[in-house]
Amino acid sequence: MATIIDGRSLAKTINTQTSKRVAKLNQQGIHPGIAVVIAGDDSASLIYTRNKHKKAMKLGINSVLKKYPFNVSQDELLAEIDKLNKDDSIDAILVQQPMPPQIDSRIITNAISPEKDVDGLNPLNLGKLFANQNTNYPIACTPRGIMRMLEEYNVKLKGQNVVIIGRSILVGKPLLALLNNADATVTMAGRSTTNLSRLTQTADILIVAAGVPHLISAKDIKAGATVIDVGINRLSTGKLTGDVDFDSAKEKAGLITPVPGGVGPMTIATLMEQTVDLAQWRHHG
Ligand SMILES: Nc1nc(=O)c2c([nH]1)NC[C@@H]1CN(c3ccc(C(=O)N[C@@H](CCC(=O)O)C(=O)O)cc3)C=[N+]21
């Protein structure tokens, strides 16, 4: 029976620190602000947007939502980003993924000022991450939150076999860099990986960000492994479930994250923390 990683409790600890930092900055006349741009109504994005807005308000962070219809043009989004880049009350800009098909997400992320790029997706920030630079720059919130969980639960990384399922720029790629920088042996798997189960059974740490409900169950896991479930799938019953069959996997894993209550709350907490980081860096360097 695995130890269950309590993402809610760890997120609460981080949020408490964040609200104290906000109060301190307020005394210096600095009021951290985040803008979320969303086009269309992807369900995971809507859950995220709602939770994020509630949390920001609770921590004293100004939060503005810029909602656009699914058929918004790329130029309209670029104009919005330009405005937010120049807006002194905004420290952090996040454009919800996935973007509609008429939008080239690479052009959008290139347009976000690197100093306000709270998702860490601008090539300048991603490049710093891959170069393992030790300066201040934003890192994708879900990967940063996962690293924090691994650290908190004393999961050894050096020399360990890590398998990441999912190659997205928001999760898989930044995680690859973070874990590689931590001297882990990282394998990136995806949709086209042959014999996925054989590979996942070699993982000391298995990170699943595939967007496929219950892709992974006990038979795919090495006994005692750490299993991190990044999936967030809304079933037709309304229930939220991950990419891992938690009930079977928890019997075989050593450490495991639940959905909900695992990676999700950590993503939000890290987003808030990093919004305050950006405000601090922008005003104090
Ligand atoms: N640019 C961008 N950055 C993102 O980080 C990003 C994104 N786009 N698009 C959508 C996905 C999805 N995502 C979630 C984060 C937290 C919860 C979350 O709070 N989950 C709670 C449960 C929520 C509930 O039950 O309503 C939990 O797992 O416990 C959900 C989803 C961030 N994403």
251 contact partners, CB below 8 Å, separation of at least 6: 1, 2, 218
Q: CATH number for the domain including 170?
A: 3.40.50.720
Tell me how crowded residue 284 is: count the other CB atoms within 10 A of its CB.
Answer: 9
Is residue 120 situated within a structural domain?
no
Q: Please state the residue numbers annotated as binding site.
A: 166-168, 232
What pLDDT score does 46 carry?
A: 81
Residue 72 Cα, ligand 1 centroid: separation in angstroms?
Answer: 22
What pLDDT score does 48 carry?
A: 82
Residues of the chain short of pLDDT 50, as ranges, are none
Relative to the CA of 7, which ligand 1 atom is closest?
29
What pLDDT score does 270 carry?
A: 98
Closest to 120 (Cα-Cα) out of 106, 135, 139? 139
| Alpha-carbon span 79 to 184, nearest angstrom | 41
DSSP letter at 220 equals G
Residue 47 Cα, ligand 1 centroid: separation in angstroms?
Answer: 6
Q: CATH number for the domain including 89?
A: 3.40.50.10860
Residue 142 Cα, ligand 1 centroid: separation in angstroms?
Answer: 9
Same domain, 87 and 166: no
Same domain, 103 and 160: no
Same domain, 251 and 149: yes
Same domain, 243 and 165: yes
pLDDT digits (tens, 9 = 90+) for 184-204: 999 999 989 999 999 999 999
Number of structural domains the chain divides into: 2
Closest C-alpha residue for ligand 1 atom 24: 47
Residue 265 Cα, ligand 1 centroid: separation in angstroms?
Answer: 8
Angle (deg, nearest 10), helices 263-284 and 7-27: 20
Same domain, 46 and 106: yes
Name residues contacting ligand 1 (CB within 6 A).
Answer: 44-45, 47-48, 51, 94-97, 119, 141-142, 170, 232, 240, 259-261, 264-265, 267-268
Same domain, 154 and 256: yes
DSSP letter at 116 equals G
What pLDDT score does 149 carry?
A: 98
Is residue 79 situated within a structural domain?
yes
Instruction: Give, in order, the Cα–Cα distances in Å from 75 to each of 33, 78, 105, 111.
Output: 24, 5, 12, 11
Same domain, 199 and 146: yes
Kindly report the CA angle at 153 between 49 and 267, in degrees rounded to 5?
Answer: 10
Is residue 204 situated within a structural domain?
yes
Q: Please state the residue numbers annotated as binding site for NADP(+).
A: 166-168, 232
Torsion of CA 81, 87, 40, 45, to 10 degrees: 110
Q: Which residues are catalytic?
A: 52, 96, 119
Residue 88 belongs to domain spanning? 29-113
Q: Which of 113, 129, 156 is the last residue of a domain?
A: 113
Q: Where are the beta strands (DSSP E) in the chain?
A: 3-4, 33-39, 62-68, 92-95, 161-165, 185-189, 205-208, 226-229, 233-234, 240-241, 255-256
* ipTM of the shown complex: 0.96
Same domain, 164 and 70: no
